Amino acid sequence: MFKGLRSKIEDEANRLKSTVSQYGENIANQVRSSASEAGSDISGRARKFLDSAQQLDREGRASSSNAAPTEDFLEQIGNEPLRRLSNASLESGNESILNSQVVPNSIRLSASPLNDISSDTESNAAENADFDQLDEMPRDKLNAIFQRFQARAVNYRQKYKELSSIYREIENENEKYKNLLSVTQEKAAQRIAKLKTDRSELQEKLKAIGSGEKVDEQSEKIKKLQDLLIKCKDEITSNRGRITSLNDENEHLKKENSTLSSENSSNVQRVTAEWKGRFDRQEEEWNRRISECEEKATIAIATSKAEMHSALQQKDQELENWISKFHALEKKDAEENTQLKEKLSSLEEAILTLEQEKADMVQKLSQAKQEGVKLVKESEKRRYNDALAVELKKRDEDWGARLKEMEDQMQLSVEENDMQRKTSHADHERITSSLKERIVELEKNNASVLLKLHEHEEELHAKTEELCRLARTVTNDNSDQQQQKIFDDNLAEEKKKIVAEYEEKILLLEKENLKNKELAISEFQLEHNKKLNELNEKYDNQRVDLQTKLAEVEAKLLRSKEEQEKAESIIKSLEGQLSEARVTIEKLEMDIAQIRQENELKDNDETRYNDLLATQKSKSDEEWNARLKELEEQLNLSVQENDLLQKQIADNERIKSDLKERIESMEKTNGSLQKLIEQKKEETPEYSDEQQKIFEEKLEEEKKKIIEEYAEQIALIEKESLKDRDDALIEQRKIFELQLATEKKQIVDEYSERISTLEAKELSIQQKIFEEKLSNERKRLINEYSEKISLLEKEANESKQHALSEQQKIFDDKSAEERKNIIDEYSGRIASIEKDDIEVKERLISEIRIENDKKLKELTEKYEKEYDVLQNKVLKIESENLKYKEAESSAQITIKSLEEQLYESQKTIGKFEADIVQLCQENASKLTEKENEVAKRIEEIKKEFMEKKDADDQNSNKEIISLKEELNEYKNKFEVLQVKFKQSELNYNEAIENLNQLKITLKESDQKSENLAAELLEEKSKLSVSLSKQDTQINEMKEALSSCEQLKSQLQLELKNAKIELKKQQQNEKLLNGNLKYFYIQCWSKV
């Protein structure tokens, strides 16, 4: 909906921009036409000027400025200051959103000044016709013409001001509509948010309704209650029959009493007095009970209010205490952090000193190594003679083994120092990270405690509301059933009593709930205290662990110092051995000098031999080049033949595709034939089976023949093409292999002869020595790194083991590849050395060894770097695992807490359901008890009447004679008694009416209490609604803040764009000023 509206508004804004640009172009054209009607010289210059102005106008329009250049031009002609539109108006003009009804009005308003401009230009066309000959005119006329131009410029300026005012009005309207749009968007967003919340609430309600178990339970309860009601109705009907029978008996007895009233007047008076006493007592009891109930209700409300107030005060005090404790803990943490930082700084200083000492040791070792390597190189240069080869080998092997042992020891010590330094650094980082995590955990625990308190309060409010709802549902069900089936007055009174009892029980339940809440709060506080104590204990334990770890780090530092001292002693011993080696090497050098003199004589003979080899080499190179050219020609021929073969293959494939198409067409025809056969079968059902079989067999045979023919043709074509291709390739391959074999043999023979003459033994020995060194160093490195990786693999998890194994494979592959590359390089170099002189060989060997040392150093550095990278990765993986474990533990804790809350809520719900069931059962039992009491009372009255009747009969038999005499007297008395009896009945009826009024007043008081409870619930709901509204307002404020920030960023971007546009306009103004100055200068020069 809003997207369509916005697109419409943007279309209208683009239309308005296009109209404004058209008006600017029209004005420029009109000015150009008026200037062209003026003189010849002025018209040409004005045209140039107007063309430049139009170009500037177009550039300004491209940068979202509509009519600025022409306005500047016309205002600067009158030598008056320019009043431009503000940047804000330009920005709003570029980005405003106009309504569809505003656009035509603005166009109508802007049309009038443009018509005036056109009329001015037409009226002044006649005046400009006189300016054809400016050169012949005097100065007075030129001044008049100039003044006319000035007046015209003023008119144009006024008209442009009107246009600018119209434009500003349009922009103001745009801003209004923009504000309206923003307001509507905010309202829509609010409405959407409300609808989302309503939707979520409805979904939750649907889920709650959809839970079949609760519905089933409620339906079962309703069925039980209905069964109880039916039973009650049956009992009431039976009791009604009994009451009617008793009333009949009562009337019969009254008649008998009327006959015997003269005799039983004294008894009647006694009975009436007893009933009156009973009624008075009952009235007193009811009044007393009502007053007691009212007093209890007021006391309970007052006590509950006082308890809630005291509980809230206690909670506030506890919260303040917790906050003060939290601040104290923060202070302690800060102090301990400062202490730890001081300790860590001291440890870092110690580590730096150790690293400096290590660097010094490494420098010393490198110097010692360099000296040893120089000595070894000098000794290895003189190993080419057969006589000294064996002795030099033995000595080199001995010295190499010793040096390797020493180097291994030194590297092990250095690596141990590195490992200790890295472990100390890692321990330091772990300690700091663990402290930070514990601080964060303490903060989270405090926040979670506050949240849990708030949640428990909300749960208590929700539970109270649920109880009220349940009570309402029970009362509503009872009231609905009463309205549907109206009982007699007696049953209504009894039900009212039952309702009163229900309300008393509900009050008791509320009291019990308050007690349970208080108990729950106390239990929660106890649990919270326990958790805090546990946290304090954990904190103390961790502190002790940190202190122990620091002590261990200090012990490790002492050990590292001791190991450094041992390493220094080892270095001193190595230096002594090196000095001994130097003495032995000096002796060997003396021997080697003598051998050199003997070799020089041999070298002269070898130079002659090398000259002959060089001549032979040049000849063989020429022959080799000629053979290579021949081979290249043969390869070109073979390539051409391959192209031909590929073409033949393509033709064969085409033939294949054609044949396949034919086969498919044949299959289609075959299918059509089969269809025809089936049709014929249907047409001729009496056709014999034997003829059908013969016909089908013929068809299948024809089919097979056709398929076999096509298959044979395809096979022949494929065989021919393959044979041709294979024969050509085999022939070419044979020719090429023969040529290569012959040339290889020749080359191998030549070079084998040369290599055999050029001291193959010495080179093989050097190669073996070099390969042995490489293999030993590689083994050593692999062993070192395998040991380190094994240690890391023990510490890391299974996932890390997989990663390290992969990295180890990569490392092995890399080392193998590097070894192969090095061997290939050195084999090539050795081949080149074999061709050169012996002196060149010695130089190359020395260079190769230098490069070997460099590459070995580079390799060791690379492996060390890779090892550091691996260690960093392992540490990262460990940190990630720790974070993941912490997240898992926190999630498990939250899950446990939620499960406990669910379990508690389920318990409370079960309690409430059990209470409701008990109430129903108690009500049913009370109803039955009351009905039984009524029946008992009626039976007692019957018994009393029967007993009285028997006694009266016995007395009457004795006193009949005496009573007959006194009948006349008693008749008179009886009449008097009847009057009194009627009065007593009237009094009895009045007492019953008073009782009914008292019951009505009780009902009213009960309704008032219910209304008060309902009002309290409504106030609670209003408070919850107000809280939810406040939350929504807070969220809206947050959203408004975010939108404000976005608007701020947009405004900043718009300001940047406006600044850029201002710069462009200033440049345009400068250009216009320059053009105007040039125009004025020319005009004045002509004048």
Q: Give the whole-number percent of the chain exceeding pLDDT 90.
A: 0
Decide if 468 contacts 1013 (C-beta within 8 A).
Answer: yes
Indicate the range of 48-57, 204-213, 577-586 predicted with least confidence: 48-57
Is the pLDDT assigned to residue 1003 strictly greater than 80? no
pLDDT single digits (tens) 259-295? 766 665 666 677 667 777 777 787 788 778 777 877 8
Answer whether 434's CB lies under 8 Å from 480's CB. Answer: no
Of 75-84, 469-478, 591-600, 1064-1073, give the lowest mean pLDDT range.
75-84
Most confident region among 206-215, 605-614, 1054-1063 by mean pLDDT: 1054-1063
Query: Highest mean pLDDT: which of 131-140, 759-768, 1026-1035?
Result: 1026-1035
Residue 206 scores a pLDDT above 60: yes
1013-1037 mean pLDDT: 69
CA nearest neighbour of 8 among 86, 82, 103: 103
Taking 50 as the threshold, does the pLDDT of residue 56 lie above it?
no
SS3 of residue 836 by DSSP: coil
State the amino acid at position 1045 in one-letter form: E
* pLDDT number for residue 89: 38
Tokens at residue 532, please? Answer: 């805090």
pLDDT at 672: 63
- DSSP-derived letter for residue 85 is P
234-254 pLDDT per residue, tens: 777 777 777 777 777 777 777
Kind and range of the H or E element at 809? helix 798-835
What pLDDT is attached to residue 619? 64
Residues of the chain by 3-state class (helix, strand, coil), percent to 5: 95, 0, 5
* Of 450, 449, 431, nearest in space to 439 by CA: 431
pLDDT at 104: 38
Report the pLDDT value the prediction gives residue 534, as an integer from 0 to 100. 73
Say how far apart CA 579 and CA 372 lie, in whole Å.
10
pLDDT in tens, 696-721: 566 566 656 655 665 565 566 556 65
Measured distance CA(53)–CA(63) in Å, rounded = 15
The rounded distance, in Å, linking the Cα atoms of 844 and 862 is 26
Q: Locate 263 and state its tokens.
A: 């005799």
End-to-end CA distance of the chain: 67
**Would you list the DSSP string of 239-276?**
HHHHHHHHHHHHHHHHHHHHHTTTTSHHHHHHHHHHHH
- Cα–Cα dist 682/661, whole Å: 32
* Tens-digit pLDDT profile for residues 741-782: 666 566 556 655 655 565 555 556 555 665 666 666 656 656
Q: What is the pLDDT of residues 492-508, one digit of tens each?
A: 666 566 556 656 766 67
CA distance 122 to 34: 8
**CA 938 and chain centroid, separation:** 79
User: What is residue 91's predicted lDDT score, i.e. its pLDDT?
Assistant: 37
pLDDT band at 111 (very low <50, low <70, confident <90, very high): very low
pLDDT (mean) for 825-851? 59
When computed from its CA atoms, the radius of gyration of the chain, rounded to whole angstroms, is: 59
- The answer, yes or no, to whether residue 64 has pLDDT greater than 70, is no
d(CA 864, CA 92): 63
Q: How many angstroms separate the CA atoms of 567 and 361, rounded? A: 9
Query: Rounded mean pLDDT of 1010-1024?
Result: 68
Question: Letter for the amino acid at 1019?
Answer: E
Residue 687 gets which letter from DSSP? S
Token pair of 602 as six digits: 């041999």
939-982 pLDDT tens trace: 666 676 667 656 666 665 665 566 566 666 656 666 766 676 66
pLDDT-above-70 percentage for the chain: 25
**Residue 306 above 60 pLDDT?**
yes
Confidence at residue 174, expressed as pLDDT on a 0 to 100 scale: 82
pLDDT band, residue 114 (cuts 50/70/90): very low
Mean pLDDT of 884-893: 62
Q: What gap in Å lies between CA 386 and CA 236, rounded to an integer? A: 136
pLDDT in tens, 153-200: 888 888 888 888 888 888 888 888 888 888 888 888 888 888 888 878
Per-residue burial over 214-235, b = 16 or more CB atoms within 10 Å of its CB, e = otherwise? eeeeeeeeeeebeebeeebeee
pLDDT band of 919, cuts 50, 70, 90: low
Q: How confident is the model at residue 435 (pLDDT cuts 50, 70, 90)?
A: low
Q: In this predicted structure, what is the pLDDT of residue 950?
A: 66
The set of residues, in sequence order, having a beta carbon less than 8 Å from that of 333 and lying 6+ positions away, is 439, 442
What pLDDT is attached to residue 283? 75
Report CA 638 to chain centroid distance, whole Å: 64
Distances (CA, A) of 550 to 308, 338, 354, 425, 433: 52, 15, 17, 12, 15
pLDDT given for residue 559 in this prediction: 72
**Residue 555 vs residue 673, higher pLDDT:** 555
CB atoms within 10 A of CB 128: 21
pLDDT of residue 1046: 74
Amino acid 980: pLDDT? 65
CA distance 462 to 483: 31
Q: Report residue 65's pLDDT band, with 50, 70 and 90 as the boundaries.
A: very low
d(CA 497, CA 503): 10
pLDDT in tens, 612-639: 666 665 665 676 666 666 766 766 676 6
Mean pLDDT of the chain, nearest integer = 64
Buried b vs exposed e over 354-389: b needs ≥16 C-beta within 10 Å?
Answer: beebbeebeeebeebbeebeebbeebbebbbbeebe
* Higher-scoring residue by pLDDT: 59, 734: 734
Locate 711 and state its tokens.
């298959």
- The DSSP code sequence of 110-147 is HHHHHHHHHHHHHHTHHHHGGGG--TTS-HHHHHHHHH
| Residue 553, burial from CB neighbour count under 10 angstroms (0-12, 13-18, 19+) | buried
Kindly state the average pLDDT of the residues 124-152: 67
From 77, 80, 52, 95, select the one nearest 1067 (Cα to Cα). Answer: 52
pLDDT score for 175: 85
Q: Could you count the other beta carbons within 10 Å of the beta carbon of residue 488?
A: 12
